[in-house]
A and B are shown apart, each in its own frame.
Chain A
Amino acid sequence: MVALQIINKILSDKNIEIYADNNLDKDYFVGYENEIEFITNHHAEYNQVPDVISFVENFPDFEILEVTESSEYLIKKIREEYLYYKSVGVIQEAATLLKTDANSAVEYLNNSIRTLELNINNNGIDIIQNADSRLNLYQERLNSKEKWYIGTGFSELDTILNGWTKGEEFVVLFARTGQGKSWILAKTLTNAWQTGNRVGYISPEMSPEKIGYRIDTLINHFSNSNLVYGRLEPEYNDYIQDLKKNDNPFIVATPLDFSKRITISKLRSFCQKHKLDILGIDGITYMTDERYKKGDNKTITLTNISEDLSLLSLELKIPIIVVVQSNRGGVKNDDDAGTPELENIRDSDGIAQNATKVLSIRQTGAGLEFGIKKHRDGAMGNKVIYYWDIDRGEFKYIPSTDDGVNKEHKEEVIKTVKKSYNDKTEVF
């Protein structure tokens, strides 16, 4: 009935705004799809709404009514009806799934309900009239940075990236295999944990114990090989006893914790259950796309997942960092050729498109180079190099005159380093 009322209102007011301004489409006009399509097409072609005579000529059975209801009511009502029609389909599908697998049904329901909600809340925010909320946010950030940002664990990198933002931060770390992506993820999450945050680490390839040894190495610089192979590390016992005194958790989960299907819905529950402040995922390709439709290829799937992760970050207001492998094109033979580029992200452009920050990693010389390939709120194209003692989990900034670190800081480091050698005689 409400669809009929809206069409009558458009015809009588000779104005299509009620339709256009509220982001309606023909799917909202169940049973009147052809009528609304005729009106919109006519409007698009002649820049005006058809008059009643032309309209009835095409739809002789259409009932012409006088509409006195307000636009607000009609919009609210048509959205409610639309939600009803969509919900019926979702609930029926969930009911079918429930008969065989309750987990799949709930997972489907979780994901689908979010889609339904998005359709009824699309009014946006007037950023002019609501400018005060922005000002308040800015002032809060100005006065308490640690509340809004989590350091990367690499102080020089932080001078460029300003750390990870709590909320609206979807970070991609990418490199070829064997370059140290997982270690870097562990390092940045360890730093987040050390600064009091609640951390989640999704590890599709390594056990929680193995990740644990890495974290121990990063925190206390134990030899990682000694821990992994059971060789003597005298202070390890005391360290573990001290470690347990910390209240904030560092949760490591493997695919088994997600019934082998890591989906956005499950990640949402995981983050909410543990009240996480930051989430790291060691391999986006291990995730399952809840929006998958028959025929979707890997590129579409990964684009969907990255889009959903980006929205999840926004929804939960936590940074989400994912590790992605670069393709073969990302292997630079020339040592001076730099880190892999965005086009080298394997299987999907969409991943980089949805990311707020993209960092590529490669080993160079005796160091590890971060290339900043995307930075939504800052300059791109910068690099920073660190010496990395993989066994001891130690990272040391290697200054480079062409890196992106603050010039004064860099020059100070160069001067101090050079002076520290204090050679007795000239060598060359």
Chain B
Amino acid sequence: MTNYIYKFDKETCWYKNSCSKYNTLECDSNCLRYMEIHYLMYQSEIPLMRQNPKILVPVKEDINNFEFLKSIKDDIVNFVKNGESLYIFSENFGNGKTTWAIKIMLKYFDEIWAGNGFRCRGVFVSVPGFLTKLKENISRKNETFEQLRIKIAESDLVVWDDIGAVKLGDYDHTNLLAYVDNRLINQKANIYTGNLSDYNGALSMALGKRLASRVWNESSQVRLVGPDWRGFDGSITDY
């Protein structure tokens, strides 16, 4: 991104409530963690309102799934190092798929910020929006989109959010397959989220068999069953 500007604001610091340096003399624009996380967040394109950790509450049936996702989160550095992929899906909406994917990515940032040296390490891609931009870019080259393409190819971890939300046309399929394939070949980690569960049915229909096979067969899969939690404002666990 060309227009990145570093700006320190301790009140919006992600670590405000836990950092031992908060509000001390050391809490200033010289804070190495703040500057690295600020850069990682900016480059990741995670929507601003989702950049702070959100607490999730599992229904009983999802406790094991949450435990599994937590285990991936806790070992995210190795997950990335090994070039692994994860598909988080659910037939229901608003039960934490995207939140989990972002939580895992944020945890990765939290692990690698020291020694990062202002590199983009993870990107959040909303697949429907990405496909729209991809088409727009045919007729009018967009510099920001070109940068996003590079980031997708080079970042350690990409979250492909809402994959399969729209049925892919030939052009979409060819392109999305190329991006995903390229990452898999280069052993780069991915987290997909979506609502399609049936590999042979809906998923293959929406993504096409080749892409569906990559998303499904080359990933660990987690199926969340909880209801829509959007609007819930409480916490009873620390996931």
| A residues adjacent to B (C-beta < 8 A) | 333-336, 364-367, 369, 383, 385, 387, 389, 394, 396, 398-403, 410, 414, 417-418, 420-428
B49 contacts partner chain A, Cβ-Cβ < 8 Å: no
Tell whether, in the assembled complex, residue B143 and residue A333 are in contact, meaning their CB atoms are under 8 Å apart: yes
Tell whether, in the assembled complex, residue A423 and residue B115 are in contact, meaning their CB atoms are under 8 Å apart: no
Tell whether, in the assembled complex, residue B114 and residue A427 are in contact, meaning their CB atoms are under 8 Å apart: no
Contacts of A399 in B (CB 8 A): 114-115, 117
Among A334, A389, A401, A427, the residue within 8 A (CB) of B115 is A401
Tell whether, in the assembled complex, residue B2 and residue A366 are in contact, meaning their CB atoms are under 8 Å apart: no
Compute how far the CA of A414 lies from the CA of B32 in the bound complex, rounded to whole angstroms: 10
Contacts of A398 in B (CB 8 A): 32, 35-36, 117-118
A sample of 15 cross-chain residue pairs with beta-carbon separation below 8 angstroms, ordered by A number, consists of A334-B147, A365-B6, A367-B35, A387-B32, A387-B35, A398-B36, A400-B117, A410-B115, A414-B114, A417-B32, A417-B33, A423-B18, A425-B18, A428-B53, A428-B107
Tell whether, in the assembled complex, residue B20 and residue A424 are in contact, meaning their CB atoms are under 8 Å apart: yes
In order of increasing CB-CB distance, the 9 nearest A-B pairs are A400-B117, A365-B118, A366-B6, A366-B35, A365-B39, A428-B110, A422-B20, A428-B106, A414-B115
B38 contacts partner chain A, Cβ-Cβ < 8 Å: yes
Compute how far the CA of A367 lies from the CA of B34 in the bound complex, rounded to whole angstroms: 12
Contact flags B1-38 to A (C-beta < 8 A → 1, else 0): 11010100000001101111100000001101101101
Tell whether, in the assembled complex, residue B117 and residue A401 are in contact, meaning their CB atoms are under 8 Å apart: yes
| Residue of A335, A418, A426 with most chain B CB atoms under a 10 A cut-off | A335
- Output the least CB separation between B53 and chain A (Å): 5
- Output the least CB separation between B137 and chain A (Å): 15
Tell whether, in the assembled complex, residue A385 and residue B19 are in contact, meaning their CB atoms are under 8 Å apart: no
Compute how far the CA of A427 lies from the CA of B17 in the bound complex, rounded to whole angstroms: 8
Which residue in chain B gives the minimum CB-CB distance to A332?
Answer: B2
Compute how far the CA of A400 lies from the CA of B115 in the bound complex, rounded to whole angstroms: 4
Tell whether, in the assembled complex, residue B114 and residue A417 are in contact, meaning their CB atoms are under 8 Å apart: yes
Which residue in chain A gives the minimum CB-CB distance to B143?
Answer: A333
Compute how far the CA of A423 lies from the CA of B118 in the bound complex, rounded to whole angstroms: 22
Tell whether, in the assembled complex, residue A427 and residue B39 are in contact, meaning their CB atoms are under 8 Å apart: no
From known contacts A396-B32, A421-B15, A428-B107, infer whether A366 and B38 are also in contact, taking CB-CB under 8 Å: yes
Tell whether, in the assembled complex, residue A367 and residue B18 are in contact, meaning their CB atoms are under 8 Å apart: no
From known contacts A336-B150, A400-B119, A428-B53, infer whether A365 and B15 are also in contact, taking CB-CB under 8 Å: no
Tell whether, in the assembled complex, residue B118 and residue A389 are in contact, meaning their CB atoms are under 8 Å apart: no
Compute how far the CA of A400 lies from the CA of B119 in the bound complex, rounded to whole angstroms: 9
From known contacts A333-B147, A335-B43, A398-B32, infer whether A426 and B18 are also in contact, taking CB-CB under 8 Å: yes
B175 contacts partner chain A, Cβ-Cβ < 8 Å: no
B154 contacts partner chain A, Cβ-Cβ < 8 Å: yes
Which residue in chain B gives the minimum CB-CB distance to A400?
Answer: B117
Tell whether, in the assembled complex, residue B20 and residue A387 are in contact, meaning their CB atoms are under 8 Å apart: no
Tell whether, in the assembled complex, residue A396 and residue B114 are in contact, meaning their CB atoms are under 8 Å apart: no
Which residue in chain B gives the minimum CB-CB distance to A398?
Answer: B117
* Count of B interface residues, CB-CB < 8 Å: 39
Tell whether, in the assembled complex, residue A427 and residue B53 are in contact, meaning their CB atoms are under 8 Å apart: yes
Among A367, A394, A414, A422, the residue within 8 A (CB) of B118 is A367
Tell whether, in the assembled complex, residue A366 and residue B118 are in contact, meaning their CB atoms are under 8 Å apart: yes
Among A333, A383, A389, A424, the residue within 8 A (CB) of B30 is A389
B217 contacts partner chain A, Cβ-Cβ < 8 Å: no
Contacts of A385 in B (CB 8 A): 117-118
Compute how far the CA of A427 lies from the CA of B147 in the bound complex, rounded to whole angstroms: 30
- Output the least CB separation between B117 and chain A (Å): 2
Contacts of A421 in B (CB 8 A): 15, 19-21, 33
Could you list 8 further interchain pairs (A-B, Cβ under 8 angstroms) beyond the known A366-B38, A421-B19, A423-B20?
A336-B150, A365-B35, A383-B117, A385-B118, A400-B115, A401-B117, A420-B21, A427-B18
Which residue in chain A gives the minimum CB-CB distance to B21?
Answer: A421
From known contacts A335-B1, A365-B6, A389-B30, infer whether A428 and B103 are also in contact, taking CB-CB under 8 Å: yes
Which residue in chain B gives the minimum CB-CB distance to A331?
Answer: B2
Tell whether, in the assembled complex, residue B147 and residue A364 are in contact, meaning their CB atoms are under 8 Å apart: no
Tell whether, in the assembled complex, residue B114 and residue A366 are in contact, meaning their CB atoms are under 8 Å apart: no
Contacts of A401 in B (CB 8 A): 115-117
Which residue in chain B gives the minimum CB-CB distance to A415?
Answer: B114
Compute how far the CA of A366 lies from the CA of B103 in the bound complex, rounded to whole angstroms: 24
Tell whether, in the assembled complex, residue A400 and residue B116 are in contact, meaning their CB atoms are under 8 Å apart: yes
Compute how far the CA of A365 lies from the CA of B154 in the bound complex, rounded to whole angstroms: 17
- Output the least CB separation between A223 and chain B (Å): 13
Contacts of B120 in A (CB 8 A): 335-336
Tell whether, in the assembled complex, residue A366 and residue B39 are in contact, meaning their CB atoms are under 8 Å apart: yes
From known contacts A403-B117, A428-B103, infer whether A389 and B29 are also in contact, taking CB-CB under 8 Å: yes
Compute how far the CA of A383 lies from the CA of B4 in the bound complex, rounded to whole angstroms: 20
Q: Mark out the residues of chain B between 28 and 83 whose CB falls within 8 Å of any chain A CB in the assembled complex.
A: 29-30, 32-33, 35-36, 38-39, 43, 53
Compute how far the CA of A427 lies from the CA of B15 in the bound complex, rounded to whole angstroms: 7
Compute how far the CA of A421 lies from the CA of B30 in the bound complex, rounded to whole angstroms: 13
Compute how far the CA of A389 lies from the CA of B35 in the bound complex, rounded to whole angstroms: 12
B109 contacts partner chain A, Cβ-Cβ < 8 Å: yes
- Output the least CB separation between A237 and chain B (Å): 25
Contacts of A394 in B (CB 8 A): 30
Among B15, B38, B103, B118, the residue within 8 A (CB) of A364 is B118
Contacts of B19 in A (CB 8 A): 421, 423-424
Which residue in chain A gives the minimum CB-CB distance to B8?
Answer: A366
- Output the least CB separation between B151 and chain A (Å): 8
Compute how far the CA of A418 lies from the CA of B146 in the bound complex, rounded to whole angstroms: 34
